[in-house]
Structure 1
Amino acid sequence: MNAPSTPSAGRPTTEPAPKSPGFAAEFKDAVTFRAFGLVLGGLLVQLAFVLSYVGAFHSPTPHRIPVAVVAPQQAAAKIVAQLNALDGNPVKATTASSTAEARDWVMTRRTDAAFVFNAQGTEDTLLVASAGGPSVSQTATQIAQKIEASEKRRISVTDIRPPNPGDGRGMTSFYLVLGWVIGGYLTATIMGMAAGSRPANRQRTLIRLGALVLYAVVSGVAGAIIVGPVFDSLSGHFWALSAIGALVVMASAATALALQTLLGLLGTGLVILLFVVLGNPSSGGVYPAPLLPPFWSAIGQALPPGAGTTLVRNTAYFSGHATAGALWVLSAYAVGGAVLAWGASWWRERRAAEAGQGTATPAASAATA
């Protein structure tokens, strides 16, 4: 009888191939809950971006544009009442005692325009300063032309402070501040995400703040060089713009560092929401506050893009008038952000120390037993 055959010693045995995981398992492994949360967060930021920009810019409507009125006493009262009674309240008229005073109000940003009534003729004058926002000057002109036509009169428009030749439509201030704000929070974010960086403690936070101060100074000077000597857009205010740039960058960077130290990745999203999604369309760079919807008009000057745009524009064109509020806002973000960042790092250190003590105590008890 033949013996049962056995596998050849040199022939490898064949083992069954491992079973591949199903689609559901692969999907669960590839799309984690954290990844889903990040994608959802990105979608929400994207939709908020579209909503904010379209909401702010889709239908610019004048609301209470400040206008000075110069006319004989009885005529002035009638004109002011007529302007303030217009449907939708497009202007807020106030009587000025003379053309010189009205002109001064425009140049100090107390009003955006001045209507000068000619009692001896049929042609009146509208004084505007389009460097403060061409869209507002154009809107004020359109309103005046409509009213004058209804009264069988004519209007002559005098632009007493137009933008510089290198500043096109007066948008340089906005784009300069936009670059400073983005640079500030991006640099703070990169420092936090750099390879090998550890969670910020108090010492590391102080080092990062020091580095951000240096970056802010360099960024401010570089921006002033670009809009001054390079393109001649906002020339004649080099050191003032350099200082403003350093303040704007530090306000953005310190706030970003604080929110990221306190909230991590969520803090980065909050920075983008505040500075880009809400801050840019409400800044007054494209449409000044009197042309924006109420929500955007209300928040614009409380955020760094709006405060920075006002500070740059009024420094370059209006001798620094009406800039105190913007200076306070930017200083609050810069100083408050630095203090909050340091406080958040101290709080994280304290929590870590308490957690370490909590785990060490049971281990010590077990060793003693």
Structure 2
Amino acid sequence: MATTDDGTRPTLVEEVKSAVTTRAALLVIGVLGLMVAFITSYAGAFHHPKPDRVPLGVVAPAQVRAELVRTLDRLPGAPLDPRPVASEQAARRRIEDRTLDAALLVDPRGTTDRLLVASGGGASLSQAVEAVVTAAEKQQRRTVRTEDVVPADAGDGRSLSSFYLVVGWCVGGYLCAAILAISAGARPANRQRAVIRLAALALYAIAAGLAGALVVGPVLGALPGSLFGLWGLGALTVFAVGATTLAFQGLLGIIGIGLAILVIVVFGNPSAGGAYPYPLLPPFWRAIGPALPPGAGTWAARSIAYFRGQALTGPLLVLSAWAVGGALITVVLTTLHRTADERADGERAGNGTAGDGERPPA
């Protein structure tokens, strides 16, 4: 049994203070907060998915097109954002370039219309649009036949492989940065070491991007598309998340790892449009998703896999901004901390010299 300095047995309070420091208690409280935020974010995003202003093309004879667009636009809850389209060919092009999520083709000679969807962009969204349009057509005593013009690959169940691929890349990015912090200190000692960490992260990102692309492509056959395109996207995603984590660590120390988890996992994953694409998410998650690495990565992965690389510019700019911003902040913070430490050392040395009674040099 441990004893205090005076030989007496420590009290329970003293034992608790010795076993759980104030810093540890604060970290545990922070972890509790992350857990609550995790549950709230995922449950809030996924508990009640419903279509909201889904872009829908409408191809119909001129005499009925405007009225049909108005009717679909006024459906309860505003599930659709109908837009007139001149022809079936134009509708297909706009679905393939990701401007539209679906298109309704009205047959004036019969009572059965066609609905074009793209399950490669999200099976849950295609099914939601089909349900809404089928119900609306039924009210008009018409039927609808669904045609998947950009189908998900046979090995890509519910078109989720791209989402899980990006989630894996994100996990690899912040874990690599966290390991660098745990093994060698949350903040690099100087600018040179910060650059070395970023270089190590870049090499890791290249390897991680290739590994992920190989697994979902040639190994599992879970995702079609360009191997080199997915490799490049993976490298950029991993580096963006890792550099962001390094920047957070430079700002807050080891607590920065928790901030990275908050941004990437708690907020980023449920808003990524993976399980439920953006039009099915509540407004908050739909708004932040495209601006965070998981959302940008998931959109880009689906574009590479199913849409011949269409609509890639925005997501790649988002990932590049996180990558460049994280790297710059890491280097700048390291320089500022180094300068502050040198200034403090100089002040301590000056105080010590004055205390020895020596006259400072002129």
Q: TM tier, shorter chain?
A: over 0.9
Secondary structure at the aligned position of 1:67 is classed as: strand
Q: Does 1:327 align with 2:316?
A: yes
Partner of 1:49: 38
User: 1:72 and 1:334, CA in 2 relative to 1: closer, same or farther beyond 3 A?
Assistant: same
Partner of 1:30: 19
Partner of 1:9: none
Partner of 1:344: 333
Partner of 2:229: 240
Q: Does 1:59 align with 2:48?
A: yes
The 1-side partners of 2:131 and 2:226 are apart by 33
Letter in 1 for 2:242: A
Which sits farther off after the overlay, 169-178 or 358-367? 358-367
User: 1:354 and 1:108, CA in 2 relative to 1: closer, same or farther beyond 3 A?
Assistant: same
Secondary structure at the aligned position of 2:78 is classed as: coil
Partner of 2:3: none
TM-score (norm 2): 0.95
Q: Does 1:193 align with 2:196?
A: no
Letter in 2 for 1:305: P
- Aligned counterpart in structure 2 of residue 314 of structure 1, from 297, 303, 318: 303
Which sits farther off after the overlay, 70-79 or 301-310? 70-79
User: 1:278 and 1:134, CA in 2 relative to 1: closer, same or farther beyond 3 A?
Assistant: same
Partner of 1:267: 256
- Aligned counterpart in structure 1 of residue 201 of structure 2, from 197, 207, 212: 212
Letter in 2 for 1:120: R
Partner of 2:107: 118
Shift of 1:200: 3.3
- Aligned counterpart in structure 2 of residue 147 of structure 1, from 130, 136, 145: 136
Confirm or deny: 8 A CA contact 2:112 2:143 kept in the other structure: yes
The 2-side partners of 1:321 and 1:63 are apart by 23
Which sits farther off after the overlay, 26-35 or 272-281? 26-35
**1:95-114 correspondence to structure 2 within 5 Å:** 95-114=84-103
Secondary structure at the aligned position of 1:127 is classed as: strand
The 2-side partners of 1:215 and 1:134 are apart by 33
Letter in 2 for 1:132: G
Secondary structure at the aligned position of 1:194 is classed as: helix
**1:246-261 correspondence to structure 2 within 5 Å:** 246-261=235-250
Confirm or deny: 8 A CA contact 2:216 2:223 kept in the other structure: yes
TM-score (norm 1): 0.93
The 1-side partners of 2:13 and 2:325 are apart by 48
The 1-side partners of 2:186 and 2:280 are apart by 45
The 1-side partners of 2:182 and 2:94 are apart by 49
Shift of 1:266: 2.1
Letter in 2 for 1:259: F
Identity %: 48
Q: Does 1:76 align with 2:60?
A: no
Confirm or deny: 8 A CA contact 1:275 1:303 kept in the other structure: yes
The 1-side partners of 2:32 and 2:39 are apart by 11
What are structure 1's unaligned runs of at least 5 residues? 1-16
User: 1:258 and 1:95, CA in 2 relative to 1: closer, same or farther beyond 3 A?
Assistant: same
Confirm or deny: 8 A CA contact 1:205 1:341 kept in the other structure: yes
Secondary structure at the aligned position of 1:281 is classed as: coil
Letter in 1 for 2:210: V
Shift of 1:196: 7.5
User: 1:53 and 1:213, CA in 2 relative to 1: closer, same or farther beyond 3 A?
Assistant: same
Shift of 1:25: 1.6
Shift of 1:32: 1.9
After superposition, give the CA deviation of every residue in 1:204-235 in whole Å (9 maximum; x if it has no partner).
00001111111011111111110111011223
Secondary structure at the aligned position of 1:193 is classed as: helix
Letter in 1 for 2:326: G
Secondary structure at the aligned position of 1:173 is classed as: helix
What are structure 2's unaligned runs of at least 5 residues? 1-5
User: 1:196 and 1:185, CA in 2 relative to 1: closer, same or farther beyond 3 A?
Assistant: closer
Shift of 1:24: 1.8
Partner of 2:274: 285
Q: Does 1:184 align with 2:173?
A: yes
The 1-side partners of 2:334 and 2:268 are apart by 27
Confirm or deny: 8 A CA contact 1:84 1:91 kept in the other structure: yes
Confirm or deny: 8 A CA contact 1:206 1:342 kept in the other structure: yes
> How many pairs were matched up?
353
Confirm or deny: 8 A CA contact 1:200 1:261 kept in the other structure: no
Shift of 1:247: 0.4
